[in-house]
């Protein structure tokens, strides 16, 4: 029912209209009467009616003033004006406030009924329009999140999307696209389903407070945020996301964070986060990964190369420290090269197989069975721990074996080599004839039998091993000084040739690696 207020300064007209109209027949009810505009406006302010039937000429505030004042505060109230014959021009001024109905006094029930029918029809139409608009708004609000999700998917996967598409969506989506943005790629460690992706996406939206758009794509949740000025706060909130998700789902989340950039570069930012996410294999733990964590050189990913004997030599000789250093270099090279996970594992398996071949036949068969363990490992750190254990065990056994199997004569030869390593004249003949007073051929055969190496090879290996130690201690040492110190005399070129043959790179290249330069390995 529509509420009606009747206003006229003549009591007889007020009572007459009140009684002669069948208000309910038109879907209305008379909720009040007033004898002047001021009294009427007070009633309108207290309980706004839907329709006001008012005389134009009244003391105090006339009908036109009542229309104007009501329009300013209650523009949806409909007016039907009553006027004498000569007041058409005066009534026309009310039309600027949307008044469409004007009845000439004296009026009757039929005219009022027609006016009420027209006004209620207008109100019905407006209500239907408002209901339709409200319904469309509610539907639009429901669909907006899905639109935003689809827009984000398109921007990160469709290379045809660009600035023109952004302008079309700018008015549709309540987002500030003028500021730089960052893309977050959330990966749930372990077996995850859509519920987990949906959960981490919503947790991120709640905690970040700067989310522009979010969606799920494949196995990941994507969140587009305005680039915050406080990067430490962003990092803290990302950790909060990880902690909250782990609290409820007992699962870890890795978050790859892109560099800041314009929204039109969302596809590039997405590729960047995918590259970061791939690097989690090298970090071995759920966490937060940015581009600076990936060690990717500006020139792109380089080829992997590592001289196998760099690790085999110290393992074979039982040198624990040098073996550990060589393995660390191998792992660092894998990180630097950033090959595919499968290729990285293949290099690790190849190195493990080379180590196994150094062991006795009784151990080799059992060791080979563990190759499948490397293939199943989910991180480089796990592979590193596996290889460290292998190297540690093998080096220890070789050290013990070498320490006790050499007879006293061979032990004496090894001690002489340690003392005379800088002597350019050091040779088997020198040791045999002038130091031990023995036959050189017999001493050579005895040495090889006990150590598995020719005397000359052993001396060169120890010299190169000492060279790497010196380079680690004093990387700014001159090559020619080092060559003379290690028994190569005044022939640094020969020293470099021997070093490269054993280590796979020149002394200069090895030093550059130690000092942070690009390795030649």
Q: Which residue has the higher pLDDT, 111 or 177?
A: 111
Q: Is the pLDDT of residue 436 over 60?
A: yes
Q: What is the pLDDT of residue 503?
A: 86
Confidence label for 174 from pLDDT (cuts 50, 70 and 90): low
Bond into 103 cis (ω within 30): no
Range with the poorest average pLDDT among 75-79, 319-323, 356-360: 356-360
Q: What is the pLDDT of residue 365?
A: 73
Enter the tokens of residue 131: 């209901």
Cβ burial 395-427 (10 Å sphere, 16+ → b, else e): bebbbeebeeebeeebeebbebbeebbeeeebb
Quote the CA–CA distance of 161 and 93 in Å, as a whole number: 54
Mean pLDDT across 140-165:
67
pTM of the model: 0.44
Quick one: CA torsion of 311, 317, 319, 324, rounded to 10 degrees? Answer: 20
Decide: 270 and 157 in contact? Cβ < 8 Å.
Answer: yes
Quote the CA–CA distance of 393 and 395 in Å, as a whole number: 6
Q: What is the pLDDT of residue 408?
A: 77
Q: Which residue has the higher pLDDT, 238 or 172?
A: 238
The candidate with the shortest Cα–Cα distance to 112, out of 51, 39, 44, 66, is 51
Confidence label for 298 from pLDDT (cuts 50, 70 and 90): very low
Range with the poorest average pLDDT among 74-88, 199-213, 258-272, 467-481: 74-88
Range with the poorest average pLDDT among 183-187, 333-337, 507-511: 333-337
Confidence label for 301 from pLDDT (cuts 50, 70 and 90): very low
Phi then psi for 28, rounded to 5 degrees? Answer: -130, 170
Enter the tokens of residue 430: 């020198």
Q: What is the pLDDT of residues 29-46, one digit of tens each?
A: 999 999 999 999 999 999
Confidence label for 379 from pLDDT (cuts 50, 70 and 90): confident
Q: Is the pLDDT of residue 521 over 60?
A: no
Quote the CA–CA distance of 82 and 88 in Å, as a whole number: 10
């Amino acid at each position: 029912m529509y509420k009606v207020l009747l206003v006229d300064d003549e009591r007889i007209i007020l009572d007459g209209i009140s009684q002669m109209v069948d208000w309910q027949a038109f879907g209305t009810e008379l909720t009040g009467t007033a004898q002047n505009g001021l009294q009427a406006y007070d009633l309108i302010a207290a309980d706004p009616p839907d329709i006001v039937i008012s005389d134009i000429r009244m003391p105090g505030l006339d009908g036109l003033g009542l229309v104007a004042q009501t329009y300013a505060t209650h523009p949806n109230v409909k007016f039907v004006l009553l006027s004498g014959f000569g007041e058409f021009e005066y009534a026309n001024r009310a039309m600027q406030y949307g008044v469409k109905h004007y009845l000439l006094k004296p009026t009757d029930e039929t005219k009022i009924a027609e006016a009420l029918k027209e006004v209620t029809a207008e109100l019905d139409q407006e209500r239907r329009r408002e209901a339709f608009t409200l319904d469309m708004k509610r539907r639009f609000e429901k669909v907006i999140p899905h639109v935003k999700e689809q827009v984000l998917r398109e921007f990160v996967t469709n290379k045809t999307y660009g600035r023109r598409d952004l302008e079309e969506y700018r008015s549709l989506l309540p987002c500030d696209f003028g500021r730089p943005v960052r893309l977050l790629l959330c990966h749930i460690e372990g077996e995850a389903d859509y519920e987990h992706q949906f959960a981490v996406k919503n947790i991120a939206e709640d905690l970040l407070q700067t989310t522009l758009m979010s969606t799920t794509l494949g196995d990941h949740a994507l969140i587009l945020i305005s680039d915050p000025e406080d990067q430490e706060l962003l990092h803290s909130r990302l950790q909060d996301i990880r902690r909250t998700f782990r609290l409820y789902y007992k699962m870890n989340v890795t978050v790859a964070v892109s560099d800041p950039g314009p929204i039109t570069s969302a596809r590039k930012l997405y590729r960047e986060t995918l590259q970061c996410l791939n690097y989690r294999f090298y970090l071995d733990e759920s966490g937060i990964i940015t581009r600076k964590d990936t060690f990717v050189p500006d020139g792109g990913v380089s080829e992997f190369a590592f001289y196998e004997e760099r690790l085999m030599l110290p393992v074979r000789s039982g040198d624990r420290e040098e073996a550990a250093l060589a393995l660390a270099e191998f792992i660092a090279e894998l990180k630097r090269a950033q090959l595919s996970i499968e290729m990285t594992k293949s290099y690790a398996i190849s190195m493990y197989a080379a180590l196994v071949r150094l062991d006795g036949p009784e151990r080799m068969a059992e060791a080979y069975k563990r190759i499948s363990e490397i293939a199943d490992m989910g991180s480089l750190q796990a592979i590193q721990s596996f290889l460290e254990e292998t190297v540690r065990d093998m080096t220890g056994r070789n050290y013990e074996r070498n320490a006790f199997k050499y007879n006293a004569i061979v032990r004496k030869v090894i001690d002489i080599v340690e003392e005379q390593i800088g002597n350019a004249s050091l040779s088997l003949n020198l040791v045999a004839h002038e130091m031990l007073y023995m036959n050189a051929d017999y001493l050579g055969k005895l040495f090889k039998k006990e150590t598995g190496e020719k005397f000359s090879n052993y001396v060169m290996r120890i010299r190169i091993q000492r060279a790497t130690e010196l380079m680690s201690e004093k990387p700014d040492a001159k090559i020619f000084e080092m060559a003379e110190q290690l028994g190569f005399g005044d022939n640094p070129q020969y020293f470099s040739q021997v070093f490269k043959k054993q280590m796979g790179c020149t002394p200069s290249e090895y030093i550059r690696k130690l000092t942070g330069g690009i390795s030649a390995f």
